[in-house]
Amino acid sequence: MAAARRAKLEGISRLPVTAEALALADELIAAGLIPANARVDAAHIGVAAIHRLEYLLTWNCRHIGNPDKLWQIERLCARLGYECPRICTPDDLLER
């Protein structure tokens, strides 16, 4: 399943992971919103926020798309001067 999802992404450009994005990721971890062992998940949010993406699609509802933490993630991003992307599953986006 993961290989099939990766295959669909072939040819789509990747955003650079910058020091700024990683610093935001570290803030998400320090605030306890993302566990330290899920730094890659925090980095996904950081990259999306600093590149001003409108949406961050994820199937990871444990860390990234956790509805209990979304408002806190949005609030932390705003406090640090970033607009958090709308974090949702692809299914959520298609329902809109």
- Which helix (H) or strand (E) is 95 found in, with range? helix 90-95
Q: What is the pLDDT of residues 39-57, one digit of tens each?
A: 999 999 999 999 999 999 9
pLDDT attached to residue 73? 97
Q: Determine contact, residues 15/47, Cβ cutoff 8 Å.
A: yes
Half-sphere exposure for 2 (CA within 13 Å, toward CB): 1
CA-to-CA dists, residue 7 to 4, 37, 55, 92, 94, angstroms = 5, 26, 21, 22, 21
Q: What is the pLDDT of residues 2-45, one digit of tens each?
A: 788 778 878 888 899 999 999 999 999 999 999 999 999 999 99
Q: Determine contact, residues 82/49, Cβ cutoff 8 Å.
A: yes
pTM, rounded to two decimals: 0.86
